[in-house]
A = this chain, B = another copy of it.
Amino acid sequence: MTKDRYQQGLDKLMELTTPDSNNPTGHMDIGEGFKDIAPDLSKFVVEFAFGDIYARPGLDNKQKVLTTISALVAQGTPQIEMHVKTGLTVGLTPEEMVGCIMHLIPYVGFPRALNALKAAQKVFEENGVTVNS
């Protein structure tokens, strides 16, 4: 039943984010801000992106976050920040996430990597996290 997929998505989301008073899905954007123009968007995000795909066996959460971050670095889309925050939630260390971005330099070039480091740095600062070198 659809409800099971939706619940599966919510359950997975709760492993990736912490709800707060403002937002039941914490820092994770599930498209609720677009309810006025695309009311079915968040349903697709929760059911498919999280319920079907993110909850899929094969990789653990930390591997999944690294996978997502890598693709976003290659794309240059602004969602990098959100997923670095997710990384912190699932237990990726800042060193692992910086290591992921640095590792991408030979594949995506320095500009995309530096743009990603800027996003990561912002998330670390906002969350009082430092990197051990």
How many copies the complex holds: the figure is 6
Q: How far is the CA of A82 from the CA of B126 in the complex (A)?
A: 27
Establish whether residues A64 and B115, one from each chain, have CB atoms under 8 Å apart when the complex forms: no
Give A residues with C-beta under 8 Å from B: 1-2, 5, 29, 31, 33-34, 36-41, 44-45, 48-49, 52-54, 56-59, 63-64, 66-68, 70-79, 94-96, 98-112, 114-115, 117-118, 120-121, 124, 130-131, 133
Contact partner, A114, options B31, B54, B99, Cβ 8 Å:
B31
Is B63 in contact with A107, judged by CB distance below 8 angstroms? no
Report the bound CA distance from A36 to B122 in whole Å.
12
Cross-interface CB contact of A71 among B41, B53, B108, B114, cutoff 8 Å: B108
Question: Which of these, B36, B57, B59, B112, contacts A77 with CB under 8 Å?
Answer: B112
Least CB distance, A127 to chain B, in whole angstroms: 13
**Known: A41-B117, A53-B106. Is A111-B79 also a contact (CB below 8 A)?**
yes
Asked if A117 meets B34 with Cβ closer than 8 Å, knowing A1-B2, A71-B74, the reply is yes
User: Which 6 A/B pairs are nearest by Cβ-Cβ distance?
Assistant: A58-B99, A70-B70, A74-B74, A59-B99, A49-B106, A71-B74
